[in-house]
């Protein structure tokens, strides 16, 4: 037994990749899909003047468009067919999951297993189409009016033809990304949607690093401040890794049992409860809800000024100012969204009553706690308290960049939100790779054991 474990530990390394054919295929498929995603970000919408668009985007540098541009991997800056990114799908997922928690017919679908999950996924896709059409129309109208007050227009030929073609192009791009993410999840390695978001952020990191070093070279920031920012980013990464691995392990006791004439000793195991059960979902959900209205408001600012006079301009200016990064109202809403989705998503993925019922069914119990309802109450008690810590951790990590942006003008990409997504998705993907590699090694050991058994 020890020899088999030692052999497995030795083979579970990079050398094992050479023999893991299925894993290599999955990795190549994932990389290929991400390359396709990056290529799509360079395919522009029809009827866009790239020079005027670049000029207009530079005027709003540092605003909400930069943050949304980060999540789309630069696609918004180039106004490509995937300018909306995967955000409509995420927003539709929020709505469907909320409805599945409060709407009785959809609650019943959740309990139907795989069939119910497919039905809810279908609702999510329909919601994605509806949201993308509305958001695509808003962006098309906003592009036509963007820069009108200064005589610069990003649209070559405004009108209904441009609006319809923009809606169709953005809808096709978003649905393609949704399909691509599902293909990565089923045929590749890792969660496809999360990997697409991470790829967009990582693609913008070299630009942010180049800009930061350029500021240090020109004397805009000191060399000491540059080192402080890089050291702070490393410290945040280390803190995220520590918190993502933190668990609350609840002892589970199984009683003695008799099988035939043999008495088996009671077993002990642990029920691990992650400190951050929802992972990167709360900041992504909270960002998606705040980003889209702000983006449309910023696009429409110039058009409102040209068509509705000062009243419309003042209203849009007040909204964008109150909800810009670093503003108190934005940080309060962002923090509230993170806390809400932390508790909501934890409740979605972990059901204390169902877990307590399963423990009771298999004879397991928590020492000192009665099986059944009391166990469910205890699990809910523990889960609520560790979720408070997890929500506080997520809020701190995600609000840290807002203070840095407001006070020190640090680029978005060095903020906790982007680092949280990159580190979390990377850890999950590496864990899945190790799982595939471990399964392959076990298959090899079992095959060898069978051959030795036949030889004897």
Residue located via tokens 């509230």:
336
Instruction: Please give the tally of structural domains in the chain.
Output: 1
pLDDT at residue 179, rounded to an integer: 92
Note the pLDDT of residue 426.
Answer: 87
Give residue 136's pLDDT: 86
pLDDT score, position 276: 87
Q: Best-predicted range by mean pLDDT among 75-84, 168-177, 268-277, 423-432?
A: 168-177
146 vs 278: CA distance, rounded Å: 38
Residue 306's pLDDT is what? 40
Q: What pLDDT is attached to residue 388?
A: 92
pLDDT at residue 372 greater than cutoff 90: no
Give me the pLDDT at residue 165, please: 92
Work out the pLDDT band at 392, boundaries 50, 70, 90. very high
Report the C-alpha dihedral over residues 177, 179, 180, 185, rounded to 10 degrees: 130
pLDDT surpassing 60 at residue 382: yes
Instruction: Report the Cα 52 to chain-centroid distance in Å.
Output: 32
pLDDT category at 298 given cuts 50, 70, 90 is low
| Amino acid 129: pLDDT | 92
pLDDT at 219: 78
Residue 60 has pLDDT above 70, yes or no: no
Residue 65's pLDDT band (boundaries 50, 70, 90)? low
pLDDT over 80 at 308, yes or no:
no
CB atoms within 10 A of CB 454: 7
Which residues does 15 contact at the CB level (< 8 Å), separation at least 6?
none
Mean pLDDT of 152-178: 88
pLDDT in tens, 409-456: 555 455 667 788 888 888 888 888 887 777 766 665 565 555 555 555
Cα–Cα dist 356/373, whole Å: 7
Q: Which of 77-81, 398-402, 438-442 has the highest mean pLDDT?
A: 77-81
Mean pLDDT computed over 139-164: 79
Q: How many angstroms separate the CA atoms of 435 and 439, rounded?
A: 6
At 100, is the pLDDT very low, low, confident or very high (cuts 50, 70, 90)? confident
Residue 280 and residue 420 in contact, taking contact as beta carbons nearer than 8 Å: yes
Q: With a cut of 60, say whether residue 15 has pLDDT above it.
A: no
Please give the pLDDT value at position 251: 85
Over the chain, what is the mean pLDDT? 77
Q: Output 170 or 15, whichever has higher pLDDT.
A: 170
Residue 273 belongs to domain with CATH number: 1.10.3370.10
| pLDDT for the residue numbered 347 | 83
pLDDT for 6 equals 45
Render pLDDT for 182-222 as a digit per residue (tens, 0 to 9): 899 888 888 888 888 888 888 877 777 777 788 778 877 77
State the Cα–Cα distance between residues 188 and 169, nearest whole angstrom.
Answer: 26
pLDDT value for 389: 92
Task: Report whether pLDDT(150) > 90.
Answer: no
Domain of residue 109: give its range.
2-455
Name the more confident of 161 and 327. 161
Instruction: Grade residue 397 by pLDDT with cuts at 50, 70 and 90.
Output: confident
Spatial contact of 78 and 42, defined as CB atoms under 8 Å apart: yes
Kind plus residue range of the DSSP H or E element containing 291: helix 281-308
């Amino acid at each position: 037994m020890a020899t088999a474990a030692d052999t497995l530990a030795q083979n579970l390394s990079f050398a094992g990749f050479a023999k893991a054919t299925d894993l290599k295929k999955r990795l190549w498929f994932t990389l290929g899909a991400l390359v396709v995603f990056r290529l799509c970000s360079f395919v522009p919408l029809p009827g866009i003047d790239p020079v005027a668009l670049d000029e207009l985007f530079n005027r709003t540098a540092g605003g909400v468009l930069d943050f949304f541009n980060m999540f789309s991997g630069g696609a918004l800056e180039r106004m490509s067919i995937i300018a909306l990114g995967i955000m409509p799908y995420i927003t539709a997922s929020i709505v469907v999951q909320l409805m599945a928690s409060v709407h009785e017919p959809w609650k019943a679908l959740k309990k139907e297993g795989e069939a119910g999950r497919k039905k809810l996924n279908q609702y999510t896709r329909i919601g994605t189409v509806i949201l993308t059409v509305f958001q695509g129309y808003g962006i098309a109208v906003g592009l036509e009016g963007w820069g009108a007050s200064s005589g610069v227009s990003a649209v070559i030929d405004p009108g209904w033809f441009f609006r319809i073609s923009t809606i169709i192009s953005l809808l096709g791009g978003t649905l393609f990304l949704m399909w691509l993410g599902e293909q990565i999840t089923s045929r590749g390695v890792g969660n496809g949607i999360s990997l697409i978001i991470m790829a967009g952020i990582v693609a913008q990191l070299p630009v942010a690093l180049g800009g930061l070093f350029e500021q240090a070279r020109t004397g805009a920031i000191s060399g000491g401040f540059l080192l402080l920012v890089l050291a702070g980013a490393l410290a945040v990464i280390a803190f995220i890794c520590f918190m993502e691995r933190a668990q609350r392990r609840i002892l589970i006791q199984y009683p003695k049992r008799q099988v035939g004439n043999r008495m088996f000793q009671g077993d002990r195991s642990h029920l691990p409860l992650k400190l951050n059960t929802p992972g990167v979902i709360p900041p992504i959900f909270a960002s998606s809800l705040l980003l889209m209205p702000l983006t449309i408001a910023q696009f429409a600012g110039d058009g409102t000024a040209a068509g509705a006079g000062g009243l419309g301009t003042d209203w849009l200016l007040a909204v964008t100012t109150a909800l810009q990064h670093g503003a108190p109202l934005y940080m309060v809403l962002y923090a509230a969204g993170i806390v809400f989705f932390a508790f909501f998503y934890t409740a979605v993925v972990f059901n204390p009553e169902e877990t307590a019922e399963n423990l009771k069914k298999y004879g397991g119990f928590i020492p000192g706690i009665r099986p059944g309802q009391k166990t469910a109450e205890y699990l809910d008690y523990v889960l609520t308290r560790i979720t408070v810590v997890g929500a506080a951790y997520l809020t701190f990590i995600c609000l840290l960049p807002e203070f840095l942006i407001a006070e020190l003008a640090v680029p978005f990409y060095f903020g906790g939100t982007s680092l949280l997504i990159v580190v979390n998705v990377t850890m999950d993907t590496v864990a899945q790779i190790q799982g595939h590699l471990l399964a392959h090694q076990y298959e090899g050991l079992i095959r060898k054991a069978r051959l030795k058994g036949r030889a004897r």
